[in-house]
């Protein structure tokens, strides 16, 4: 599988927007399909590189501000590169009451992250908080690469992280 760095490099290199051209073609270069186009671009690069958004705007003949506007409106879109493993810790009411905060602190402490710095330097992990994941009965809930972990604790969360680190070593 292609690694994140290659993809990021691909997004930045001049004349290397072949993948985006393919996405645009699939959507008929239709400005009305901007959201699905951006979804596909994000799937390709794991986030929306600024150069890619500019390229999409130029190709569709629409102002870059419109593309950026859509990208920032939907929380689903990421404007910064994410790590290979994305941990989403629920901080909705039920999870907060069941002590999600110590889990977040443990994860950030282990990975050297903070509210401002969400991705590790080696691009292995991104830790973010989300509002209700719709599994309140399992609170506190954590999502790791789309896999749901219920009734987590700082210890369990760190075990999961250590396992991933071992697997990636
Ligand atoms: S509040 Fe966390 S799953 Fe609902």
CA–CA separation, 89 and 52 (whole Å): 29
Is residue 158 scored above 80 in pLDDT? yes
143 lines ligand 1 (CB under 6 A): no
Token couple for 78: 């990421």
Q: Which atom of ligand 1 is nearest to the CA of 140?
A: 2
Please report where in the chains the tokens 């691009």 appear, as a residue. 123
Lowest mean pLDDT among 34-38, 74-78, 139-143, 149-153: 74-78
What is the model's pTM? 0.74
For 65-120, the pLDDT digits (tens) are: 999 999 999 988 999 899 999 999 999 999 999 999 999 999 999 999 999 999 99
CA–CA separation, 55 and 49 (whole Å): 10
- E-only strand ranges, the chain: 85-90, 125-130, 142-144, 147-149
Domains of the chain listed by start with CATH number: 4-73 (no CATH), 85-168 (3.40.30.10)
Task: Find the 105 Cα to ligand 1 centroid distance in Å.
Answer: 18
């Amino acid at each position: 599988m292609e690694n994140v760095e290659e993809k990021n490099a691909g997004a930045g290199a001049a004349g290397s927007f072949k993948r985006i051209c393919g996405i645009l073609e699939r959507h008929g270069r239709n400005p009305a399909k901007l959201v699905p186009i951006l979804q596909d671009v994000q799937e390709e690069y794991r986030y929306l590189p600024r150069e890619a958004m500019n390229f999409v705007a130029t190709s569709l003949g629409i102002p870059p501000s419109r593309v950026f506007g859509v990208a920032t409106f939907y929380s689903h879109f990421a404007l910064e590169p994410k790590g290979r493993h994305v941990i989403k810790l629920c901080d909705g009411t039920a999870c907060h009451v069941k002590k999600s905060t110590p889990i977040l602190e443990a994860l950030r402490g282990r990975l050297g992250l903070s509210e401002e710095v969400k991705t590790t330097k080696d691009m292995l992990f991104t830790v973010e908080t989300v509002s209700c994941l719709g599994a309140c009965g399992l609170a506190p809930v954590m999502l790791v690469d789309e896999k749901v972990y219920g009734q987590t604790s700082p210890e369990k969360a760190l075990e999961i992280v250590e396992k991933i680190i071992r697997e990636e070593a």
